[in-house]
Structure formats: C-alpha cells, structure tokens
C-alpha cells in the first residue's frame, strides 16, 4: 500500500507543467483501432487509467507501445471483439471501447466496467444509444453481448452523458449515411476526440455542441495527433495555488475550457493573470487577500465541472462565511467531505446532492484516506493548506488520474513524500 506524507502550511513557487487530458486520451486510444494503419498519439499522461486502457487494447490483439508520453498503436492485427474481462472491471472508461468495436467488427462482448465509487453510473445510456443505432443486445451471466453493425440515423441521448456521446460518435463514424446525435454533451474532450477522428478522415461536425452530425465514411487512416491539455489537472493546481496563497505558473492550458472556473475563483477573491509564452497560454496565481464564501452548483460543460467540486470545497474552508455546494451530476460524490472533517473542516452534508462549508478554518494535519481520483487529489490540496503533517492513504486513486502529482508539487517547494508502492 502506498501513501503520501505531506507537511503543510508552506507557500509554493514555480512552474507546473500540465499533462495531456486524461478524459480525452482515454477515448482517443480506443478510437485508433478504427483504422487499419498505425497512429502515433503524443502528450498522453502516464497514469494508471491510461496504462489499463493500453492493456485492454493489447488484450484484443492491438500492437501498442507507450513511452515518454507517446502511444504508438498498430490495429492491423486485431482479431477479437471480446476484451479481457478482468481489465474491463478495473476501468470505468473502458465502456467507450464498445462503440469502436461495434463500428469495426459489428460485435462486442463486455462485462460491467468498474471505476471510482462516486454514485450510480449505470451503462444504460450507452446501451440505449446502441439500440437506437440498430444493435441487438443480450445479457447473460454478467456479460453484455452486442451484435450488428450500427446503422446511421437519429440518436437522442436521455441526458448529456459525455461517454455516451463519445460512444455514439465511435459507433457511427463508419456507418453508411448520416447520423445525428441530439442532446449531446459538449465537453472539450469530445471535440478533441472528434478532431482526431476527422484528421483520420472522418466527417464529424458539431462536436462541442449539443447536436453532432456524422457523415459516415468507409475507411479511416492512422495519423499523428497530440492530446489537448488537461483542464481538470490545470484546475487542480490552480486551486492549490490559490488556497495556499502561492505564486504558481500553470500550463499549457486552453483558457476557453476554464472560463467558469476562472470566473468563480475571481469572484471569491483569487488573484491570477493569463500569460502567453512559447505559443501557449499559462495561468499565474498571485498572492491574495481574504477569500469570501460563495455558492456553486456543478453542471455539464460549460458549467462548473463536477471533477473540481471537491477542490472548491477545500478552497471554501479558507473563505469567510458559509458556502453551499450543489452537486447535480452524481449523487453522493462527497467522499472527501468526511476526510476534510478529520482535518477540522466545518462541513455539513444536507442531502446526497448538497453540503455546506463554514470558514475560515485552520486545518490541522492528521491521517486521512482517498476514496476516488478527484476527491483524493483535493485532499492533497487540503493537506498542503493544513498546519502540521498529513498522511493520505490509498493514493492509487490519485495516481489513476494524475501524472507524478508528488514530483510536480515537490518541484515547486511542497514537502510531500511518497511511501510504498502502488499495487495495480
């Protein structure tokens, strides 16, 4: 078992490089199998979830290497549409492989994917998409058996699900005719997936909006592509800079993807500026005065990201007044709240979707545990803010979504040590 030991209360200073987006790379890698020729994907973060996806792709016969942030994928020898079930059960994002397998083979066998325990996340929305595309689905002994090449047509999602939108795109890109996806999610990572597919020869328009049109093509070709910067990782270090009152330079970032986050931080008293260097945008956090409490509610993009909700809660422990946080995406995504309470934070869960934070509070280091990717990383932010020493257990959750978080923080002056090894 691995854990972090963090001595808090220090100001940080320096530059933190933002890695490629986890939630884009996890979908772009399965998309690469739609070609019969190799692709080279760069700016891929080396995190546990990506390593698992690489293993899943190998399990169906993909020739794949992953070195120095570059994944080379040769799909020419894929023969199976039944990925390794043990691997599938370890990675929630593996569900997007189904759309690609249906598009390529007209069949897929998959068990219920695993992932973080952050509320109910059934795959019914995905199955509904496939049914609307004419795919036949049977369930037997813990497995879903999907059969039939997806047929172009009208698809209406039951809600703005990111992965269901991506599955609809992957399933339709090789279908003859025109597919229109309505009530689509609009997250930037979806557009990044579509940009990659279009570079391969797909004809996708409207990605990044709530209505996407796909003109089916017969074939796709492998290409070189660089994954977009991770806006959630950027938001993570941005919050750390603000809550510790530090001067950090964070980037590269795509500023437009962080608009609501920057606005909310500015509203509560954060100080920062956007600078341009080496052809990219960076955010510099600056020393600030007192923070003031303000409410947020998480929404699908372009609303406030659910993945940054727990970080905002940490920030509010240092703000004057009471803030109310309304989580609209997942019920019960409050695993970090109990741990914050162990650090002496004043929080109160009102119901499975709402809690309040009273501040400012002097956080005191203690032993706590991460329960999911984002909640775990938000506890790192809290530990850096707290007086004394904090031990964070179960950091494999954090490593699922963050590349070298301890190394990056240590480079800007944080006292953080990793003890033990991750058991995958």
> What single string gives the DSSP state of each residue in 259-290?
HHHHHHHHHTT-EEEEEEETTEEEEEEE----
What is the enclosing helix (H) or strand (E) of 235? helix 231-243
Q: Tell me which residue has tokens 């509560």.
A: 268
Residues pairing with 346 in the sheet: 358
Cα–Cα distance measured from residue 362 to residue 346, given in angstroms and rounded to the nearest whole number: 10
Instruction: Give the span between the Cα atoms of 421 and 424, in whole angstroms.
Output: 9
Handedness of CA 22, 23, 28, 29 (dihedral sign): positive
Report strand pairing: 247-253 vs 354-359.
unpaired
User: Of 49, 160, 117, 115, which is closest to residue 333 (Cα–Cα)?
Assistant: 117
Helix residue spans in 139-178 (DSSP H): 162-172
**Angle formed by the axes of helices 231-243 and 259-267, to 10°?**
10
Residues ≥6 apart with Cβ < 8 Å to 71: 25, 29, 40, 41, 42, 44, 54, 64, 65
Task: Give the pLDDT score at 423.
Answer: 62
Is the Cβ–Cβ distance between 193 and 207 less than 8 Å?
A: yes
**Which CATH number is associated with domain 3-18+229-419?**
3.65.10.10
Q: Strands, E, within 93-223: which ranges?
A: 107-111, 136-140, 143-147, 154-156, 178-182, 203-205, 211-215
Other Cβ atoms closer than 10 A to 13: 13
Q: Mind telling me the catalytic residues?
A: 116
pTM, two decimals, is: 0.95
Strand pairing of 367-369 and 63-67? unpaired
Can you read off the two tokens belonging to residue 4? 């972090």
Task: Per-residue pLDDT tens, the chain, 424 aa: give them.
Answer: 899 999 999 999 999 999 999 999 999 999 999 998 999 999 999 999 999 999 999 999 999 999 999 999 999 999 899 999 999 988 988 999 999 999 999 999 998 776 444 444 479 999 999 999 999 999 998 899 999 999 999 999 999 999 999 999 999 999 999 999 999 999 999 999 999 999 999 999 999 999 999 999 999 999 999 999 999 999 999 999 999 999 999 999 999 999 999 999 999 999 999 999 999 999 999 999 999 999 999 999 999 999 999 999 999 999 999 999 999 998 878 989 999 999 999 999 999 999 999 999 999 999 999 999 999 999 999 999 999 999 999 999 999 999 999 999 999 999 999 999 766 5
3-state secondary structure 302-360: CCECHHHHHHHHHHHCCEEEEEEEECCCCCCCCHHHHHHHHCCCEEEEEECCEEEEEEC
Are 39 and 73 in contact by the 8 Å Cβ rule? The answer is yes
Q: Count of CB atoms within 10 A of residue 374's CB? A: 27
- CB contact burial 80-117 (16+ within 10 A = b; e otherwise): ebbbbeebbbbbbbbbbbbbbbbbbbebbbbbebbbbe
Sequence spans of domains, the chain = 3-18+229-419, 22-226
In this chain, the answer to whether the domains covering 3-18+229-419 and 22-226 adopt an identical fold is: yes
DSSP state for residue 32 in the 8-state scheme: G
- 16 - beta bridge partners? 250
Q: Is CATH 3.40.30.10 what the domain over 22-226 is classified as, yes or no? A: no
Q: How many CB atoms within 10 Å of residue 365?
A: 22
CA R_g for the chain: 21
User: Are 188 and 4 in contact, with CB atoms under 8 Å apart?
Assistant: no
Q: What are phi and psi of 87, to 5 degrees?
A: -70, -40
- What backbone torsions phi and psi does residue 271 show, to the nearest 5 degrees? -120, 130
The candidate with the shortest Cα–Cα distance to 235, out of 326, 319, 310, is: 310
pLDDT of amino acid 120:
46
């Amino acid at each position: 078992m691995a854990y972090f030991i963090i001595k808090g209360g220090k100001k940080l200073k320096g530059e933190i490089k933002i890695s490629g987006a986890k939630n884009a790379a996890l979908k772009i890698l399965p998309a690469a199998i739609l070609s019969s020729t190799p692709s080279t994907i760069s700016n891929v973060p080396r995190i546990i979830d990506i390593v698992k996806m690489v293993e899943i792709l190998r399990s169906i016969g993909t020739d794949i290497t992953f070195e120095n942030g570059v994944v080379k994928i040769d799909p020419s020898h894929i023969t199976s549409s039944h990925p390794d079930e043990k691997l599938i059960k370890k990675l929630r994002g593996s569900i997007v492989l189904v759309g690609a397998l249906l598009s390529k083979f007209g069949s897929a066998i998959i068990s219920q994917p695993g992932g973080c325990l952050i509320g109910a996340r059934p795959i019914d929305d995905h199955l509904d998409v496939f049914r609307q595309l004419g795919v036949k689905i049977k369930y037997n002994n813990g497995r879903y058996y999907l059969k039939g090449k997806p047929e172009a047509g009208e698809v209406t999602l039951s809600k703005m699900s990111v992965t269901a939108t991506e599955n609809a795109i992957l399933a339709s890109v090789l279908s003859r005719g025109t597919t229109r996806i309505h009530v689509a999610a609009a997250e930037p990572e979806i557009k990044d997936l579509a940009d990659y597919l279009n570079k391969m020869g797909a004809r996708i328009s409207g990605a990044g909006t709530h209505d996407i049109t796909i003109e089916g093509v017969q074939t796709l070709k492998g290409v070189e592509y660089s994954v977009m910067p991770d806006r959630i990782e950027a938001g993570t270090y941005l919050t750390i800079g603000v809550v510790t009152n530090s001067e950090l330079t964070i980037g590269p970032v795509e500023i437009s993807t962080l608009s609501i986050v920057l606005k909310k931080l500015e509203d509560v008293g954060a100080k920062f500026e956007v600078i341009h260097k080496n052809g990219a945008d960076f955010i510099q956090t600056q020393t600030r005065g007192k923070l003031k409490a303000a409410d947020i509610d998480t929404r699908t993009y372009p609303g406030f990201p659910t993945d940054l909700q727990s970080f905002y809660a940490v920030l509010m422990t240092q703000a004057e007044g009471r803030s109310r946080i309304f989580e609209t995406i997942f019920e019960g995504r409050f695993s970090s709240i109990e741990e914050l309470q162990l650090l002496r934070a004043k929080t109160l869960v009102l119901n499975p979707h709402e809690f309040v934070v009273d501040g400012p509070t002097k956080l005191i280091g203690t032993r706590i545990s991460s329960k999911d990717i984002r909640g775990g990383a938000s506890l790192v932010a809290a530990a850096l803010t707290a007086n004394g020493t904090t031990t964070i257990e179960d950091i494999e959750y954090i490593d699922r979504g963050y590349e070298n978080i301890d190394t990056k923080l240590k480079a800007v002056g944080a006292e953080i040590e990793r003890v033990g090894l991750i058991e995958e």
